[in-house]
A and B are shown apart, each in its own frame.
Chain A
Amino acid sequence: MSEYPELDEIMNGIRTRSETAFATAYRHTSDPLASFANGMVHDARFAEDAVQQAFLELVQSASTIKGDGRSLRAWLFRSVRFTCLDELRRRARRPEYLSADVPEVGVEPDLPPGFDADPDLSAAMAQLTPHQRTVLVLRHVVGMDGNEIADVVGGNRVAVYAVSRRAEQHLRTLLDRTTEDGG
């Protein structure tokens, strides 16, 4: 059916809230979901919470989930996206948490490697709009194509590519500037 046969198979289990179906769904989606959230908020701990939040919401809405595995995946990404956008708004109101480019105090040593290994990139990403950031992360971190991204953020493939192009351009410009300043 879709490009996610493992998810296609468990759709009935999801709708009837089978625990094994949820475990399968989690195994196949948690890492990309966490990477997406991490790319949005630059916070691995928050990213994990967002993934759990998405699955708890899925438990509530399981019986209304329609479509195949691909729709399920898009549903979960939408859930994480909303959680992240809320968090970004919340942090914008409380600027002490907005220091994404500065390594956080009290960061746990067991955080995944690569976290904030690229402060320049984090600083540049922080200057993009949330929508641009969403599209860039879904495309280059999660590896979705235009149609899948459109399922998550709304709109269509063409609009997604347009946003993506401009966001990439913007990000390159920002990074070049930082490089020049630093050099």
Chain B
Amino acid sequence: MMDARDPMDRLSSAYTMEVDPETRERHLAEVGVAIRTAPPAPVPVGFGLRRRVAAAVAAIFIVAPAGMAIAAENAVPGDFLYPVKEITERVRSYVDQDIEATHRVQEVERLVFLRAPSHVVARAVERAESATVQFAESDDLRMRLEGARERLQQLDEERQIADGDGSGDGRQESGTDSGRTGPGEGSGTTVPSGSRGSTQQNQEGAGTTGTTLGQGQTDQGAGEGAGAMAESSGASPTTTAPQNPGASKQP
């Protein structure tokens, strides 16, 4: 059987239909039921791509800098994060006038606690002083700064003692007195490895030095108390100057 009409017209007449009125009423009723039984306030659920992107952006622009700022809170001059601290400080100083002075004093305290080199501490103390003059409203900070300064002085004195011993930080090369106290010198009287830098060691070691030296246990951290030296030099064929025992510091 031949159909002369254009196939596309046939498509339209073959498939175009209308929803039966009865069916329509039934559909609308069921849609109404669905609307009434649907959860009243549909909140989009799930963790869609958009939210994930938003979370990533938040992480990069909010969480990471915040974490950095918090981590920088205890930074001292010279630390990697110290510039971050300076920035946050500048912002915080708008609401907290004391913040700068407080930070400076805290830094001094921390540097002293960490036994930073004295020129570093000195610089921090300078800054702390100018900051407390400008900003501090209470005497508390000034007192803290004073305390830190005292502690620093104490440390400096200890250092000087150590340096005076010549072995305080082990900087002195062995060999200055090598004619008399070379490391290999025998008879158990060689001044041993020497103090390894800390002033505590010096002080603690002083009491035991005599016996240590006498036994020739060269690896024991021995002090350089003058009395001890006298003993050891008495037993030694060569005299070791009390001021230069570190000359024999061994690696």
Contact = CB atoms under 8 A, between A and B. Distances in A.
Interface of A: 17, 19, 22-23, 26, 30-31, 34-35, 38-39, 42, 44, 47-48, 51-52, 55-56, 59-60, 62-64, 110, 112, 114-118, 120-122, 124-125, 136-137, 140-141, 168, 171-172, 175, 179, 182-183
A137 B8 CA distance: 9
Contacts of A35: 15-17
A30 B24 contact: yes
18 contacts: A17-B38, A19-B35, A22-B31, A23-B28, A26-B27, A30-B19, A31-B18, A39-B15, A48-B27, A51-B27, A55-B27, A117-B13, A118-B13, A118-B14, A121-B3, A121-B11, A136-B11, A141-B16
B27 A30 contact: yes
Contact of A172 (B1, B2, B7, B34): B7
Given A48-B27, A121-B3, A136-B11, 5 more contacts: A23-B28, A52-B30, A62-B42, A137-B11, A140-B12
A34 B15 CA distance: 9
A38 B31 contact: no
B20 interface: yes
Nearest to A32: B16
B44 interface: yes
Interface residues of B, number: 29
Contact of B10 (A48, A63, A121, A183): A121
Nearest to A22: B31
A137 B19 contact: no
Contact of B11 (A30, A39, A63, A110): A39
B32 interface: yes
B23 interface: yes
A36 B34 CA distance: 24
A74 to B, nearest CB: 19
Contacts of A175: 3, 7
A56 B31 contact: yes
Nearest to B43: A63
Nearest to A44: B17
B32 A38 contact: no
A179 B20 contact: no
B32 A19 contact: yes
B33 to A, nearest CB: 9
Contacts of B38: 17, 59-60
Contacts of A52: 27, 30-31
A31 B20 CA distance: 9
B127 to A, nearest CB: 58
Nearest to B16: A35
A116 B15 CA distance: 8
A34 B17 contact: yes
Contact of A140 (B1, B8, B24, B31): B8
A59 B31 contact: yes
Contacts of A31: 17-19
B243 to A, nearest CB: 86
B44 A63 contact: yes
A48 to B, nearest CB: 5
B2 to A, nearest CB: 6
B7 A171 contact: yes
Contacts of A124: 7
A17 B35 CA distance: 7
Nearest to B9: A140
Nearest to B26: A52
A19 B35 CA distance: 7
